[in-house]
Structure formats: C-alpha cells, structure tokens
Structure 1
Amino acid sequence: MKKIVSLSIVLILILSGCGSSKKQLEKGNYEAALDKAVRQLRKDSRDTKQISILDKSFTTLNEQDNERIRYLKMEEKPANWDEIYQINKRMNDRQAYVRTVTPLELNGKTIEYPYVDYMPEMVAAKRKSADFYYAHGNELMKSKLKESYRQAFYEFVRAKEYVGNYEGIDTKIDDAKYLGMSRVLISLQNKSIIQFGQEFEEDLLSLDLPRLNSEWVEYHTRDLDQNTKYDYYVNVNIRNIMVSPDQTMQKDTVVKKEVEDGFSYQLDKKGNVMKDSLGNDIKTKKYKTLQCALIETIQSKACQINGDVEVVQVNPNKILKKDPLGAQSDFEFISARALGDIQALSQSQIEKTKSRAVPFPSDMEMVMRCSDALKQAINGAIQSNKRFIN
C-alpha cells in the first residue's frame, strides 16, 4: 500500500509539471490542477480563474475520497483499514495545503471550507490497520513457507510502525526475518589430481559477500554450524588442472645493419676531385655492414584449470544451473646472447642480452598464478546465476 501511495505522489508531481492548471482540470488530473492553482494563488490571491479551479478540484477530490472511504467501510474487510487511513491522511494534508491560501473572494462570494478534524478517524483507522497486519502476520507464520515468512515480516514491521506496542513484536520481526531468509553455501570441490592447500582454497572463495547478498538472500563461504540449514549450494568444482612441462626453445637470428664508415671524394674522368658550385670538394659517404648473431632462449610454461559452477536447490533437490569455469596462467621468459658486432642490434635486442635464463616456476606456483583469473571467473558465474536463487 505504501508503494502505491508513493507512486501516486510521484505521478502527481510529474503531472503537475506539465500543462496549466486549467488543462490539468480538463484532463481530470485534479490533484495536479489543485497544486498548480495553489501555487498561482500564492503569487496572486485575486486570480479568479485559479480560485475557480481550486474550488472545483478541492471539492471533487474530497467527494471522490469520501465515496471511496464509504465503499471500503461497507466491504467490512480488515485489510481495507490501511487504505482508509491513507485516504484520511491525504485529505488532511490537502486541507492544510489549501488553507495556506484561503479564504478567497470570487464574484463577491467568500471561498472558504469548514475545518474537518481527520485525526480521530486517522488514529482509529491506523490502529485497526495495525491490528490487521499483526493478526495477518501471525497467520502467515503458520504456513511455514519462505514467501509467507517474508510477507509476515513486512506485516509485523507495518504493525510496529503504526502502533508499536504489541507484545513481543520485535521478536516476531526477527523470527520472520530469520525464517524468510534463504541461505547459500559456496564451497570449493577439488576433483583434480593436483591437491592445493587450505590457504589457496580460502583465497579463491574470498568473495565480496555483502555485494552478493540481497534483502532475502545471504551467502556464506563457511558452514556456520550444524544447525544451520541451507536452501541452496553453489558448488565450485575444479575438475582438471593441466600444467605443461618446462619448455625451452632456441631462436637464432642474424641481424645486419648498415652504418656510415667515412667518405670518399668524387672524381671526374681525369681523376681530379670534383667541386660543387661553391668550390667545395664533393664527398660521398661510405657505408659498411655490421653483423651479429642473436641467440634467444625462450622459456615457457602454462597452466590451465577447468571445471564448473553448479547452483543446487535443496528442496526439492535439483541442479538449477551449471556453468563452465576456466582460468589460465602463462610463464614466458626470454634471454639472449650475442655473437658478433653488438652494435648491429636494436636497443630492445641489447636488453635481452643482459638477461640470463631463470629457474622455471613449480607446478604449484603455476596453479597459484591462476588465482586472480579463477576468482574473477567464480565471482562472475555466481553473479550471473543470482536470478536462480531467491
């Protein structure tokens, strides 16, 4: 009901921003028309057009609200008391709003409305509404269904918000919240032939749990205790870990480079040095070829982890979704040595010659290097499947 009322207010505000009070009145948007009329009358209390629109809108809205209250009371449904309370509150607020510009004068007639005390009706309706929510919440708790527990939670909260003096209401709110909560246990199942330590497993499951949690779903990566019942399991299954052997490959490259090597004089047919237009000797640059053999040693190793993420519902027991899971880490190191004139090499090639082969990482180190990529994959799989858990 609260959401409906809030939506109505938002709609009224939107409508009040579009078109004049007269247009709003013609469309039957009486709340928007009233709001615009009051705003204009605060600027000019003698605006007869706005006075007429205010009178029409205010009278029509109150007639509609009173008719709705009469109908709701005739139905004699306990669930109607909240709407009756909300309508009376709306009429009370509307009355206070209009009284900021009244009395008004229209064609020699005073426009003023008798004060109506809505408070007794509001208090009575609010109390009866709270009684209904409290009683209905107790009935919902008897069904032993998640959705009913959640609805009971909202009913108890509303009862406390409206009245607040029900015996044990806080305990009922806590119980409904606890029973309505779905709990998910995320666990890692290593089914590969390579075993890794507890620290690595904990690191993989160091997820941002508050970000995963929602109002009615909470995730855990550790079993709280034997008495905690989980509604869903997210099983992260590591099925295959493949680590390649240490690989060393040699690559030989002959690098050649042309560099300046002095100059020679340009001669004419008679063997004399030729001159340019300024009388200078004409010189020709001489080049020589530098050559160097670059012997690169390329060390490489790779690790690939494959598995899947299963979302399992407990009651009834079934797999809701299974997504593939994978991560890879690569090791590569390049060192080199040069034979010949090192000046033939580029700067990047020279840098390679300053390095020497390094020890290969162990198989377990390669697995550990997959940690970040694997965590991202696990988190991504869980996030994408949250819609199956409620």
Structure 2
Amino acid sequence: MKNISRLRYFIYLSFIIIAGCTTGKKALQKGDYDASVAKAVSRLQNSPKNSEAMEVLPTAYNLALQDHLRKIEEAKASNDLFRWEAIMYEYQKINQLADDINSCPACLILVPTPPKFVKELSDSKYNAAVARYNSGLEYLNDNNKLSAKKAYYEFEKAQNLQPNYKDVKAKMDDAYWAAVTRVVVQPIMVNSNLYKLSGDYFQQQIDQFIASYSRNKFVIFYSEEQATNQKIIPDQVLSLNFDDFVVGQTYVKERVEKIKRDSVVIGETREKKPVYGTVRATLSIFDKNVSSSGLLDMTISDWHDQKIIRQQKIPGTYIWRDSWANYKGDDRALTKQQMAMTRRRESLPPPPTALFLEFTKPIYNQLVNDISGFYNNY
C-alpha cells in the first residue's frame, strides 16, 4: 500500500511539473509571442535539450520582434501627442526578450544575437518626457485649479521619465501650489461660558482632524491663527456654529406594577408542616432620562464671492438614563432583579459640561465624514 501511495504522489507531482513547464507552443498558436518566448526560455533553462521548446523559440522570437518593430513604426507615424511612450514600451519589451534569451545558454544557440535597442529606448524616454513637459506647460497656462492639477500630473510623469529634464521639479511645484485649495476653518462659537471648556475640547478634535488630513494632497486646511501667521489667502472658508442646543432636559416616568406570587410558604401548622399561600406587592419603577442635543451648522463658502458651496445641518443627541424602584407589600412577591432595583437610589446625572461633550461626539463623527467625503475627490 505504501508503494502505491508513493507512486500516486510521484504521478501527481509529475503532472504539476509538466503543467508548470510548458514549451510555449500553445501561446505561439494563440499569437501571444512574448509569452511563447518566455515559456520556451524557461523550459530550455530547465531542460536544454527539449525538442519542442527548441523548435518554438526561434519562431516565437522572430515573430515577437517583428510585431514590436511594426508597432513602433505605426506609433511613429501617428499624430498622438504621447506616441513616444508607446514606442518606449515596445522597445522595453524587445530588450526584455533579449535579456531573457541572454540568460539562457541553450537559447543563445538558437537565437545567437538578439538585438537590444538601448539608445532608441533612451531617446524615446527623453521624447516622451518632452511631450509630457510641454503638455504640463499648456495646462499650467490655463490659470485654473483643475488645469493646474492636470499640469502637476503631467510634470510628475515627465519627472519619472527624465528626472533632470529642464526645470521639471520647479514646474511640478508651481503646478501643485496653483492646484491647491486652501481652506480656513473658523473656530466654533459656543455662546455660553458654562460650556466653553466642552466647546474647546470639540474644537481640539476638529483641529486634530484637519491637521492630520491627507486623503487629497490638493486640499490644505488651516486654522484662522495659522492663516493669519502665514498670511494665507484662502480659497474657501469652513465655518462651524451650533444653531441650537439643549443640555439636561430631564424626564421622569413612573410605572406601577401589581405583583403576586402563589405557592409561597407563609407559615406552618402545629405539626410543623408548611402552609402555602399568595403574597402580593406593589412595585413602583422610576425611569429618568436626561436628554441633551444640538444642531451644528457646517457651511463652506467661497472666499472671493462669498457664495455658499455646501451647507449641512448635523444633529447630535445623548440621553443619560437612570432607574430605581420602591415597593409596598410583601417582598417575597418580588424577583431577585426587582429586589435589586429597590436597593438602588436615584443617581445624579453628569454635570452639564459632560453632557454637552457627549452629544457632540456623534456630531463630530458625522462632521468629519462629511468633510472627508466632500474634499477627498475635490
């Protein structure tokens, strides 16, 4: 049995090896010449005498080379502004084919001198960078933020293609700052000295959010103090104000339940036998809710014409709850949970400043989600 298991294992392993080491013949038949070359090279690296791979490689390579050269000529003849990138990619593929064959001694016998187009690749990269740079200049000359953003990405592509081309780094920087939307966030106004500390804490949370915001690099938030110190002229102003808030509205509700329990031992006979009966009690349960809520107005305005770009009313509510109970009658009628409630006493709610802070928490979550959603793809 062990020998049969081993045989099955080796047969299974052989199928895996065969499947993973194709000669590239099927890829050649499908017209995928690059893949055919890659598979034939891989097979010949592992099995230099494989006849099928030896037959496939020269044919696949010649077809691949001619296909890339044809595409290069077609691209050169086109009017596409960015045709040099297509040409560059074709030269890269040709050179990769040559590198693959040069890494395989058995392959070099079949394809002795695969050409590499090093200078042509370098020239095409240069020309591609020039095209992107010139495109960036045209966008930048449009003098609007959307075009400046496009210019930034064009200069970035030029930078990646040709890092030291002209003043591409400086142009990239110019385009970035021309594309940036500067948003000044005004401090939140809380018209009550009682809640000033809580309002300050809410403001600190907002300040931390805008300071760490990084989803869209073309949006920068400033506090009013930062804008003043850095002499920033904003594009937009984000103002936050509590339209209305109520702290500590108290509601107490009493529920009365008549309770009875049967088959309770209420005494015993002279013979010391238990006497069963019904016990009753009246349970009064008190539920106290202390509600605090507010409505935050978020307005985003254009600094230059004072037009409102976006306005949202964001509500928040926090309810502090307490409950206790008392009873009259026989306590044996009560459950353990009911007895526990009767031992509780009415609790004092948190101070108003804490209640104010609690109802601003859901407002904060909605606020940052709204700001992020608006500016992430701005």
Q: TM-score, normalised by structure 1?
A: 0.73
Decide whether aligned partners of structure 1 residues 98 and 309 sit closer, same or farther in structure 2, where only a CA change above 3 A counts.
Answer: same
Q: Is residue 2:250 matched to residue 1:246?
A: yes
Q: Is residue 2:321 matched to residue 1:332?
A: yes
**1:84–1:125 Cα contact (<8 Å) kept:** yes
**2:286–2:323 Cα contact (<8 Å) kept:** yes
**1:251–1:296 Cα contact (<8 Å) kept:** yes
* Superposed displacement of residue 348, structure 1: 2.4
* Superposed displacement of residue 346, structure 1: 2.4
* Distance (whole Å) between structure 1 residues aligned to residue 86 and residue 153 of structure 2: 16
Gap runs ≥5 in structure 2: 1-18
**1:34–1:57 Cα contact (<8 Å) kept:** yes
Give aligned pairs, total.
354
Once superposed, what is the RMSD of the aligned Cα atoms? 3.9
* Distance (whole Å) between structure 2 residues aligned to residue 360 and residue 366 of structure 1: 9
* Superposed displacement of residue 318, structure 1: 5.5
Cα deviations by residue, 1:54-91 (Å, 9 ceiling, x for unpaired):
22221112112212223333458774333333322221
Decide whether aligned partners of structure 1 residues 40 and 333 sit closer, same or farther in structure 2, where only a CA change above 3 A counts.
Answer: same
Decide whether aligned partners of structure 1 residues 129 and 192 sit closer, same or farther in structure 2, where only a CA change above 3 A counts.
Answer: same
Decide whether aligned partners of structure 1 residues 301 and 263 sit closer, same or farther in structure 2, where only a CA change above 3 A counts.
Answer: same
Q: How does 1:72-91 map to 2 (within 5 A)?
A: 72-75=75-78, 79-91=82-94
* Distance (whole Å) between structure 2 residues aligned to residue 45 and residue 341 of structure 1: 98
Identity of aligned residues (%): 18
Aligned-partner SS, 1:225: helix
Q: How does 1:370-385 map to 2 (within 5 A)?
A: 370-385=359-374
* Superposed displacement of residue 29, structure 1: 1.7
Decide whether aligned partners of structure 1 residues 374 and 188 sit closer, same or farther in structure 2, where only a CA change above 3 A counts.
Answer: farther
**2:132–2:158 Cα contact (<8 Å) kept:** yes
| 2:170 aligned partner | 171
Q: How does 1:107-126 map to 2 (within 5 A)?
A: 111-126=110-125
Gap runs ≥5 in structure 1: 1-15, 267-282
Cα deviations by residue, 1:155-205 (Å, 9 ceiling, x for unpaired):
333333344334544333322222222344455766999984240440462
**Which amino acid is the alignment partner of residue 35 of structure 1?**
A
Aligned-partner SS, 1:352: helix
* Distance (whole Å) between structure 2 residues aligned to residue 186 and residue 357 of structure 1: 43
| 2:261 aligned partner | 257
Moved more, 92-101 or 127-136: 127-136
Aligned-partner SS, 2:242: strand
Cα deviations by residue, 1:117-156 (Å, 9 ceiling, x for unpaired):
4222222333333334334433432222223322332333
User: Alignment partner for residue 305 of structure 1, among 285, 290, 294?
Assistant: 294
**Which amino acid is the alignment partner of residue 111 of structure 1?**
L
* Distance (whole Å) between structure 2 residues aligned to residue 316 and residue 29 of structure 1: 59
Q: TM-score, normalised by structure 2?
A: 0.75
Aligned-partner SS, 1:205: helix
Q: How does 1:360-371 map to 2 (within 5 A)?
A: 360-361=349-350, 364-371=353-360
Q: How does 1:174-189 map to 2 (within 5 A)?
A: 174-187=173-186
Decide whether aligned partners of structure 1 residues 44 and 181 sit closer, same or farther in structure 2, where only a CA change above 3 A counts.
Answer: same
* Superposed displacement of residue 231, structure 1: 4.2
| Structure with higher helix content | 2
